[in-house]
Amino acid sequence: MASEFDIIRRYFTRPVKRALLGVGDDCALIAPEPDTLLALSTDMLVEGRHFLAGADAVKLGHKSLAVNLSDLAAMGAAPRYATLALSLPDADETWLAQFTRGVFKLADTFDVELVGGDITRGPRNISITVLGAVPPELALRRDGAKVGDEVWLSGCTGDAALALAHLNAQVRLTDAALAHCLARLHTPVPCIALGLALRGLASSAIDVSDGLVADLGHIGERSGVALELRYAALPRSRAIQACADERLAQECLLAGGDDYELVFTASPDARGRVASVAADLGLALTRIGAVSAGEPGLVSVRDTDGELMALERKGFDHFR
């Protein structure tokens, strides 16, 4: 059987690019970039919680890195380095080859260098830490939203949650809709280019991982503002449009999570620049609401009649 060190050599070690020292020493060594802050984020994915036993290993490798890169996108940071800690029930080399293929393919797409990590035996668990670079003053923090700002969303929310609803037999999607939603669930693409384009433009940003309303709540709390969404303004994918169960569609749109879109605030003066970013990147950016002076962190949603909607569920919480 392959040893821990064989595995590291065979599947995780590649020549260094930007780093001064990569996998294989006590630490990796990286050089600071002048006039640049390091953005640092960690996410952990657990079997049975974030992914099912038997999940496609290539896609799992992709997603494990993607959800971390999404945090860099939400900060307006350019990806640089990653470390990967992995707990595995066995040294299944087919799985390792597929998993690392998924990781490295996405890493190459976004020019991320894997510089270190750890591998151990135990219940399957993937913990990735990413480092990115962002000029001072241009980071897209959560605490910059101002009353009067408008709320924007990239792409649309709900597809990943709709895929899960199908898998849980809550809804029956067409083959085409299912394929689309499963791709959104298993191989999300982090909005790196959008994050970079929003530097100096968005007043705050977050990636939609727990659910749109919950994540906007984090912006509200940190910025000391309330936010109001217009339900009718929320963009809908074809799969969500085709969903006959409007209550399910609503829950997916507002509280589904696992979307990895960016939701951000910007001054009304910035509308033209936001439209230019959308055109330049070929992305849909939709104005879905506004920042108001209500209770900090409160996110309310109004229906087409302007009435407040009651939300049963706002987002995902691992301990509730």
Looking at 15, 53, 94, 122, which residue binds a second copy (CB under 8 A)?
A: 122
For a second copy, the binding residues in 6-25 under the rule CB under 8 A are 7, 20-21, 24-25
Task: Determine if 26 is a binding residue for a second copy (CB under 8 A).
Answer: yes
- Closest to a second copy by CB, 280 vs 317, is 317
- Closest to a second copy by CB, 150 vs 215, is 215
For a second copy, the binding residues in 228-247 under the rule CB under 8 A are none
For a second copy, the binding residues in 61-100 under the rule CB under 8 A are 71-72, 74-75, 77, 81, 83-87, 90-91
Least Cβ distance, residue 191 to a second copy (angstroms)? 12
| Contact call for residues 261 and 157 (beta carbons, < 8 A) | yes
For a second copy, the binding residues in 135-164 under the rule CB under 8 A are 136, 139-143
Count of beta carbons in the 10 Å neighbourhood of residue 31: 8
Number of residues that bind a second copy (CB under 8 A): 76
Classify 284 as helix, strand or coil.
coil
- Closest to a second copy by CB, 50 vs 180, is 50
* Angstrom distance (rounded) from CA 176 to CA 265: 33
Task: Determine if 37 is a binding residue for a second copy (CB under 8 A).
Answer: yes
* Angstrom distance (rounded) from CA 103 to CA 79: 14
> 183-213 b/e with 16+ CB inside 10 Å = b?
ebbbbbbbbbbbbbbbbebbbbbbbbbbbbb
Q: Which amino acid is at 77?
A: A
Count of beta carbons in the 10 Å neighbourhood of residue 175: 7
In this structure, the strands spanning 150-154 and 285-292 are antiparallel
Task: Determine if 113 is a binding residue for a second copy (CB under 8 A).
Answer: no
